[in-house]
Amino acid sequence: MKGLRAHLCLWHAGLMALTLLLLAGFTYALLGGVLHSRADAALTELADTTARQIAIALYSQPRAASERRYPAFLSDDLRNWGRYIQLVDPQSHILEKSDGLDTHPLPVSARALRRGLEGRTTLETFPGLGEHPVRVATVPVQMGSRVPLMVQAGTSLEGVEAALQRTGWILVVLTPLVFLLALVGNYIVVGRTLGRVDLLTQTALEIQHSNLQRRIRHTGPQDEIGRLASAFDEMIARLDQSFQQVRRFSADASHELKTPLTAIRAEAELGLMADMSPEGYRQSLTSVLESAERMSEIVESLLLLARADAGQQLLRRETVDLAELTLETVDRLTGMAERHGVRVEMVESGEAMTEGDPLWIGQIASNLISNAVKYTPREGRVEVRVRPSDGWAELMVRDTGIGIAADDLPHIFDRFYRVDKGRARATGGTGLGLSITRWATEAHGGEIAVQSTPGEGSVFTVRFPSVGS
Ligand code: ADP
């Protein structure tokens, strides 16, 4: 968990640092750009205005230039704004300059002169003039196509530099501070979130097969972790149920096998102890045989279910005429039904074709019909129907028997479940028949349903996917 926390925090820190650095750099660059362009605009405007004033004056007093009388343009109060102006001719002679430039005139570059003669404005930065770099705008004084003079306006970049420096400092202090705050916040939040996962792990580790009743019982919000906790609880509940089933199943299986085994032992002990007539021995051995047969029936059913559970029970796939197969089964069971005093009738035999293993489908029909006979009192009736129904081939077995109580209905397909244990055992039932029937039905892609009213009878309906004949 520590690993994940560090990993997440590291990723977050990396992304955060990158974002903050980009943001700080962008802010600084943007501010620099805005301040410089505003300074440039003001400087160019000053130089432009002065150049225009000089041009107008030169038109009206042509001699002013030769007499070098320009101070009128320079005595403007704009000078007080920290901007300086000087006039240069195309040969780079400085003709006039503001008072502040007495000892240090603005530098005149060849490029600015050349561009000035072409009528273009030039903006340059000169670093080495004073404490701060100086920005100079050189603007031509246009007299028609002639450029007799150029106006240079200069200003120190002190203000811009100072503003940028201040912003730089703020960013340098603020960025790591925000970074640290975000880092600590993230560390705490990630820690809390992972703490909930840790709790899950802890509980998972504590759960053994002996305490499968334990649950996380998450009370927090139903977010991703909440849902994980619920899914975990549901999984444990399913596991718990399976374990209970397995336990119950083992107990039931042992119990079922114990009964005939005890009977065999008792018969054997009796035979060894007492001197019995040959007839007595024959009877004793017959009863041993019956018990052994019952045991092998149970063991075979168990083996079959075990193979089915493991998915190892192979099924043939061939087209089966459900009506024909059911009729054969009904005929086969007529003798047994007569012994029980129950009438079995095939009352409907529609055309219902399905695909599957005829042995197993016959077994399903046989289980349902023999159950109906077993659980129907004398003089009762069992009706068997086969018909096509909405893409299904349907087999319905209705009896007028004892019925099944609503409480028992959901369990009758469970292994070894019998509504009335004594009675079922007496009828030779193992309690596995319906489990096997349900498995075989589902293995054929079908479904099984039951409806029952105690004292009136039950209806078992099995449906298989139908296929064209
Ligand atoms: P068994 O071998 O005991 O018949 P099954 O798995 O076939 O086991 O059936 C489970 C239980 O369901 C039976 O013990 C019986 O109580 C009940 N049952 C099954 N079929 C019927 C039916 N047609 N009428 C009433 N009860 C039935």
Residue 210 belongs to a domain = no
Residues in contact with ligand 1 (CB, 6 Å cut-off)? 371-372, 375, 399, 401-404, 412, 417-420, 424, 429-435, 458
- Residues 90, 141, single domain; the answer is yes
Residues 6+ apart with CB under 8 A from 284: 267, 270, 271, 276
Q: Is position 461 within any domain?
A: yes
Report CA(340)–ligand 1 centroid distance (Å): 16
How many whole angstroms from 194 Cα to the centroid of ligand 1? 52
Give residue 196 CA to ligand 1 midpoint distance, Å: 49
Give the chain's length: 469
Q: Which atom of ligand 1 is nearest to the CA of 430?
A: 2
Among 411, 417, 418, name the best residue to mutate to test ligand 1's pocket (greatest count of ligand atoms within 8 A of Cβ).
418
Atom of ligand 1 nearest to the CA of 376: 24
Distance CA 232, CA 202 (A): 12
User: 436 CA distance to ligand 1 centroid (A)?
Assistant: 12
Mutate to test the pocket of ligand 1, among 294, 301, 382, 412 (most ligand atoms within 8 A of CB): 412
On whether both 279 and 376 belong to a single domain, the answer is: no
User: Nearest C-alpha to atom 13 of ligand 1 is from which residue?
Assistant: 418
Residue 214 lies in a domain: no
Residue whose CA is at the smallest distance from ligand 1 atom 23: 372
Whether residue 427 lies inside any domain: the answer is: yes
- Residues 439 and 406 both lie in one domain: yes
CA-proximal residue: ligand 1, atom 4 (nearest) = 429
pLDDT for the residue 182: 93
pTM: 0.59
Q: Which atom in ligand 1 lies closest to the alpha carbon of residue 413?
A: 6
| Number of separate domains in the chain | 3
Domain check: are 436 and 453 in the same one? Answer: yes
Q: How far does the centroid of ligand 1 lie from the alpha carbon of residue 413, in Å?
A: 9
Q: How far apart are CA 88 and CA 110, in angstroms?
A: 12
How far apart are the CA of 453 and the centre of ligand 1, in A?
14
Pair 43, 118 in one domain = yes
Q: Is 184 part of any domain?
A: no
Of 162, 186, 211, which residue is a domain's last?
A: 162
Measure the CA–CA gap between 156 and 106, rounded to whole angstroms: 11
Same domain, 249 and 379: no
- In a domain? residue 49: yes
Q: List the CATH number of the domain containing 262.
A: 1.10.287.130
**Of the candidates 145, 162, 179, which is a domain's last residue?**
162
C-alpha of residue 307 to centroid of ligand 1, in Å: 23
Phi, psi of 218 (to 5 degrees): -65, 130
**Domain boundary residue, one of 144, 162, 180:** 162
What are the structure tokens assigned to 219, written together? Answer: 């009370």
Cα(187) to centroid(ligand 1), Å: 62
Q: Do both 143 and 44 map to the same domain? A: yes
Which CATH number does the domain housing residue 375 bear?
A: 3.30.565.10
Same domain, 69 and 116: yes
Bridge partners, 84 (sequence order): 154
Which residue has its alpha carbon closest to ligand 1 atom 14?
418
Q: Are residues 460 and 410 in the same domain?
A: yes
Residue 96 within a domain: yes
Q: Within a domain: residue 382?
A: yes
Residue type, 256: E
Specify the pLDDT at position 217.
Answer: 83
* 255 and 385 together in one domain: no
Residue type, position 163, single letter: A
The residue type of 288 is: V
- The reply to whether 350 and 461 lie within a common domain is yes
pLDDT along the chain (469 residues), means of 10: 82 94 95 94 90 84 61 50 82 80 82 91 86 90 86 89 93 94 92 86 82 83 88 91 86 87 92 87 92 91 86 88 96 94 95 94 95 94 95 96 94 87 64 92 96 96 89
Do 28 and 97 belong to one domain? yes
- The predicted pLDDT at position 99 comes to 72
Range of the domain at 231: 224-309
Nearest to 157 by CA among 117, 121, 192, 130: 130
Using most ligand atoms within 8 A of CB, pick from 367, 383, 404 the residue to mutate for ligand 1. Answer: 404
Q: How far apart are CA 417 and CA 431, in angstroms?
A: 5
